[in-house]
Structure 1
Amino acid sequence: MSYAATAAKGPKQSAEEARARPPPEVENTESISSSSLIDVDSESVHTVPSSFSSQNIQTDTQAERINREARAKEEFEAASKELNNRSKAAKGKAKKQAGEFERNSDNPVFVGNAIAVVGLSASLGFGAYRKYAAGELTWKVVGAWTGLVGLFAVGDYYLSSYLFKNKYPKK
């Protein structure tokens, strides 16, 4: 049952009872006198020079903001230079690595590692998809596979190091 239906069943109110009460009023007991007006000749009122709007920096807050923006610009430029220097170093390192791969492209250790990485990645991806499709892919399965990949990586590192030192040195 709605509120309106419930209220309609109750006792009827007179027009006086149904009308909302008037809001309370604040009685003004003060009379306006000249003593309560602001004295414009007092020291608390400050005037602004007519050249105020033509000044570059008009407030302390504005000066602080301009200083913060200048510092931020300097920091950005310094970080940009640092990033540019790191980028150049990374490009140089990448070129060096690319040259090493080109020089050793006939080395069986390099070729074997490349084949192992591609094969392992493909088999892990396919196996993970099959487990996912069957609804059997859990965090335990992912953790076990991650552990196996870690064991493979450690074994491959030591085997490759041994082969590079003893049988197939890098060029």
Structure 2
Amino acid sequence: MKHILSVLVENEAGVLSRVAGLFSARGFNIDGLTVAPVGDGETSRITLETYGDDNIIEQIIKQLHKLVPVIQVHDLTDRPHVERELMLVKVEAERDMRAEVLRIADIFRSRVVDATSSTFVVEVTGSSDKLDACLNLLEPLGVVEVVRTGKVAMARGAKRMREGLKEAPVKK
């Protein structure tokens, strides 16, 4: 079963390598991975997608907790959460196909972020299924190149990831 893990870590050199090494050493695969610093600059959030039964995921989480730079780990799979992915697609857009590319981009609420006389770069955000569907419609038109970010995910609601998911502060 697919699982999405959200890992809060100290923002220091080598953390991503240590997390990836944990998976590699135990023969687990990472199917998607994103990482970026969060607002305070001292911590980063790693969102990773992996497959396994509940026992395997439980072992992964226990092993992640043992890594010194790891602050918290949450399996978002069975919790209400929001997940998104970003895809950039370079599509051939010769004169007779330009309108069709724009129509497909509009259907998926995406946008053209670069245009030349022969190509468009379309930015699509949303669920993996939405990105796959858009890509399937664009492929017959001549996809030149595709880049995808992997998923980012966050638990829904007013709670935040840090110190036991305390209530998030209310902005005044």
TM-score range normalised by the length of the shorter chain: under 0.3
Q: Which has the larger radius of gyration?
A: 1
Report the structure, 1 or 2, having the larger helix content.
Answer: 1
RCO (CA 8 Å, sep 6+): is it higher in 1 or 2? Answer: 2
Instruction: Give the structure with the higher percent strand.
Output: 2
